[in-house]
Amino acid sequence: CPSPAELRPSNGTRLCALLYADNSPYYEQCCAGAVLEVLPGTDLPYLPRGWAGRASSLVVGTKCELTVWSRRAKEGKTRRFGA
């Protein structure tokens, strides 16, 4: 997995988080599969098609916080992740 300070896509803009579709009990294989990039200030009340219940690994960038909800449309319990 990239370190929180390394979260920059190929065009060089800053990312707040990366969510990965595949996971593994082996750390070197954790961040794999499809990737969802989350830019700073992004507000997603609904995940893009095909991502609901799919994210299994994540990395949050420095100076960012990712808040997730247990139910759609920002309902249910919340959990916050930081670098």
Domain annotation covers residue 9? no
CA distances from 44 to 17, 30, 49 (A): 13, 24, 12
Does the residue 11 lie in any domain? no
Provide the mean pLDDT of the chain: 86
25 alpha-carbon distance from chain centroid: 18
C-alpha–C-alpha distance, residues 17 and 80, integer Å = 12
- Mean pLDDT, rounded, for 22-47: 84
Instruction: Give 42-56 pLDDT, tens digit per residue.
Output: 998 888 888 888 888
For the chain, the domain total comes to 1
Residues belonging to the chain: 83
Q: What is the pLDDT of residue 10?
A: 63
Mean pLDDT of 1-5: 86
Question: Collapsing DSSP states into helix, strand and coil, what is residue 18?
Answer: strand
**Quick one: pLDDT at residue 9?**
64
Domain of 43 in residue numbering reads as: 17-82
